Amino acid sequence: TGQAGEAFDTAELQRLDSAHYLHPFTDHGALRETGARVMVRGEGVYLWDSEGRRVIDGMSGLWCVNAGYGRSAIADAVHRQLLALPFYNSFFNTTNVPAVRLAAKLAGLAPPGFQHAFFTSSGSEANDTAVRMAWRYWQLMGQPQRQAIISRRNAYHGSTIAGASLGGMDAMHAQGALPLPGFHHIGQPSYAEHGRGMSEAEFGLAAARWLEDKILELGPERVAAFIGEPVQGAGGVVIPPATYWPEIQRICDRYGILLVADEVICGFGRLGAWFGCETMGMRPDLIAFAKGVTSGYVPLGGVLAGERVAAALIDKGGDFNHGFTYSGHPAACAAALANLRIMQDERLVERVAKETGPHLKARFGALAAHPLVGHAESIGMAAGLDLVRRKGATLHDGEPFARALAVGMLCRAHMFDNGVIMRAVGDRMIVAPPLSMNCAQIDEMIDRIRYCLDLTL
């Protein structure tokens, strides 16, 4: 159970792990050589492994433990709910108390116009649901030919077949018949990668117009929706210029296309507002969420439907033939309610906007002076830096990508060995710590990161 001081047989756990456990996104041959690190306990922003070593968690687990570890209020709420009613479905004209309360709670936290929630167990299922809702919407509106979905290269939207099709990760597409027909991709709004010769503002407009080009190529009457994260997370914390999303919005409005915000990472405070679309100037029709809604304590995701889609789904009638056994799972919804209460009581979102986010920006931004680092930028509690070989050059100035990947992996390994978790993504290193991390802990995290960058030099 990972009580403090409890002893674990790490070698035996690693042997069993290697013998029986298939991990997500893992090279098992390589893992067999190193053995997995066995994590056993968390408290606040710290984790402990089976050898008793402490690390500061710069990734909130996987962008999800927004309220931090060890929250007994969430555990107690789940415990109470499991004893009262561990499961009942919401299919056949039934409902359950935590699901009702959570849907109403989310309607209060979401941007204006979002009064309805559909629940799933993950972000991938949330995005599948958003696609099914978009298709159903256009059927109900008498335009069933609107089926094309446009997304962006380098995007991550999940690992189901639709999630991986929405995603723009070549490595995922290469391992199957992906993307599915009807899923199209435009470039990501990465100024460092594509913005040469333009101001940031000009580049934001130019990158948004790639969407218009794609819509015109496909035919506007065939396009159902455009999906994007307000700030691409797993793609490397790619922060678009301020002109990007308002122009995307204008284009979606012009052609009547649904805008889907994938808020699986950005939602629930990550960018300093409850939802990333508020920070980035988007007015989406659908919001996909997961992760931070429960701080990862119990799996839960979903889609918030804005007025336009909700009105069609509800008022035009007929079944929406979509749903999961665990849609609105009582224990997951109870965890979410307890988590959101903590976030509100501790004003975590406001703290990110006013205190911890600005502190992270100053401390993380200063890493740009390090010889291995090109740009270092952050927004709220998400930050990313480019690894470069020659100071002043970016990888896109001819630096070999494969080398950056190796440097990133080496750097990540140093971090893991030196008590901080940071993630390597292509030529970038990223952090997204719990929103409960305080300024002194941010300092500790950055000091450790700097030390590991030095070790990597």
Cα torsion angle, 438, 58, 157, 155, sign: positive
Closest approach of ligand PLP to the CB of residue 173, in Å: 16
Residue number, 195 or 267, with CB nearest to ligand PLP: 267
| Residue span binding ligand PLP (CB under 6 A) among the ranges 5-13, 226-234, 306-314, 364-372 | 226-234
Using an 8 Å Cβ cutoff, are 293 and 335 in contact?
A: no
Judge contact between 329 and 101, C-beta under 8 A: no
Please give the residues from 350 up to 389 whose contact with ligand PLP meets the rule CB under 6 A: none
Q: If binding means CB under 6 A, how many residues of this protein chain bind ligand PLP?
A: 15
- Nearest CA to 71 among 297, 286, 240? 297
Q: Which secondary structure element, helix H or strand E, spans residue 375, and what is its range?
A: strand 373-379
Amino acid identity of 426? G
74 or 264: CB nearest ligand PLP = 264
What's the closest the beta carbon of residue 311 comes to ligand PLP, in angstroms? 26
- Is position 272 an interface residue for ligand PLP (rule: CB under 6 A)? no
- CB distance 37 to 51 below 8 Å: no
CB of 19 to ligand PLP, least distance (A): 25
Among 14, 66, 90, 122, binds ligand PLP (CB under 6 A): 122
Determine the Cα–Cα distance for residues 262 and 128; give it in Å rounded to an integer: 11
Q: Does 157 bind ligand PLP (CB under 6 A)?
A: yes
Residues contacting 217, CB < 8 A, separation 6+? none
Which one among 74, 227, 234, 435 touches ligand PLP, defined by CB under 6 A?
234
CB 111 within 8 A of CB 275: yes
- Closest to ligand PLP by CB, 122 vs 147, is 122
Which is closer to ligand PLP, CB of 121 or CB of 441? 121
Q: How far is the CB of 375 from ligand PLP (least distance, A)?
A: 21
CA distance 111 to 275: 8
Query: Judged by CB under 6 A, which stretch of 174-182, 198-206, 228-236, 354-362 contacts ligand PLP?
Result: 228-236
8 Å CB contact between 302 and 323: no
The DSSP H or E segment spanning 55 is strand 54-57
Backbone angles phi, psi at 221, to 5 degrees: -75, -5
Residue 158 binds to ligand PLP (criterion: CB under 6 A): yes
CB of 64 to ligand PLP, least distance (A): 8
Report the Cα–Cα distance between both ends of the chain, in Å, rounded.
39
> How far apart (Å, rounded) are the C-alpha atoms in residues 129 and 392?
43
Segment lying near ligand PLP (by CB under 6 A), choices 169-177, 260-268, 346-354, 409-417: 260-268
CA distance 4 to 43: 10
Residue nearest to ligand PLP (CB): 123
Residue of 156, 191, 226, 297 that binds ligand PLP (CB under 6 A): 156
The CB-of-320 to ligand PLP minimum distance in angstroms stands at 21
Q: What is the DSSP letter of 337?
A: H
The residue (of 123 and 408) whose beta carbon lies closer to ligand PLP is 123
Nearest CB to ligand PLP, comparing residues 81 and 154: 154
The tokens of 168 are what? Answer: 């723009």
Q: How far is the CB of 62 from ligand PLP (least distance, A)?
A: 6
Q: State how far the Cα of 399 lies from the Cα of 169, in Å rounded to an integer.
A: 21
Bridging pattern class, strands 183-186 and 148-152: parallel
Least distance in angstroms from the C-beta of 72 to ligand PLP: 24
249 binds ligand PLP (CB under 6 A): no
- In whole angstroms, the minimum distance from the beta carbon of 238 to ligand PLP comes to 12
CA 341 to chain centre: 21
Q: How far is the CB of 165 from ligand PLP (least distance, A)?
A: 13
Nearest in space to 304 (alpha carbons), one of 272, 271, 330, 336? 336
Please identify which residue in 290, 293, 348, 415 interacts with ligand PLP, judged by CB under 6 A.
290
Assess 229 for contact with ligand PLP (CB under 6 A): yes
Applying CB under 6 A, which of residues 50, 66, 90, 124 lies at the interface with ligand PLP? 124
Helix axes 307-315 and 123-140, enclosed angle (nearest 10): 60
Residue numbers at the binding site for ligand PLP (CB under 6 A): 122-124, 127, 156-158, 229, 233-234, 262, 264-265, 290, 301
